[in-house]
Amino acid sequence: MSLATFRFIGRHAGNMLSGICLAAILAHLVGKLIAGAQLATLISLSLSWILIGVSVIVRERHGKQDSLVMLSIEPLPLVMVFITVVLVVACLVARYEPVAIVGPAIGILGTILGVLFYIAAIAGAVQKRKLEADLANKPTESSNQTLQPTPSRLVSSRSHD
């Protein structure tokens, strides 16, 4: 392994470790509000940061080639953080309401919304990838001569204007 490879690995490992430390600090703050949510917050935020790091590493190594795995990994950290925040808010609301109705409803609806966002993000990325591939393979000249404008069609279409 060369020195450049060690620098590359070290830089990204340092970023991931700093993200895990930040996740631990945020989980500690959440744990002061809701003790039961501390571990779940730490795991969710740490995994999100690690997934972001893996996404950056793979993107730098493979360039602009987007695989289906990369398309599915990229929106996942955002969705995980969104669902974690929704569940922490739902726990807070449920903790202070007399009958736990609104808190669980917020948690369920927020989780469903997060999953739907994830599915929509993947579907949009796959459609964009297919469109870019179709545009790259687009023929430069039409093989169907009936669609080509001829001088007589140009003159007749200009006379109608």
| Residue 110 and residue 83 in contact, taking contact as beta carbons nearer than 8 Å | yes
Q: Output the pLDDT for position 98.
A: 85
- Alpha carbon distance 95, 21 (integer Å): 28
Average pLDDT, the chain: 81
**N residues, the chain:** 161
pLDDT tier at 12, thresholds 50, 70, 90: confident
Amino acid identity, residue 76? L
- CB count within 10 Å of CB 75 equals 19
pLDDT tier at 94, thresholds 50, 70, 90: confident
Judge whether residue 46 has pLDDT over 60. Answer: yes
* Residues of the chain by 3-state class (helix, strand, coil), percent to 5: 85, 0, 15
Q: Output the pLDDT for position 131.
A: 87
Judge whether residue 67 has pLDDT over 80. Answer: no
pLDDT tier at 39, thresholds 50, 70, 90: confident
pLDDT tier at 7, thresholds 50, 70, 90: confident
Phi, psi of 52 (to 5 degrees): -65, -40
| Residue 106 and residue 86 in contact, taking contact as beta carbons nearer than 8 Å | yes
Q: What's the burial of 34, exposed, middle or buried (CB within 10 Å: 0-12/13-18/19+)?
A: middle
| Residue 72 and residue 121 in contact, taking contact as beta carbons nearer than 8 Å | no
- CB count within 10 Å of CB 96 equals 9
pLDDT tier at 64, thresholds 50, 70, 90: low
- Out of 23-27, 46-50, 51-55, 109-113, least confident range: 51-55
Q: What's the burial of 92, exposed, middle or buried (CB within 10 Å: 0-12/13-18/19+)?
A: middle
Q: Output the pLDDT for position 145.
A: 55
- CB count within 10 Å of CB 71 equals 17
Q: What is the pLDDT of residues 111-161, one digit of tens each?
A: 999 999 999 999 998 888 888 888 888 776 555 555 556 566 555 555 555
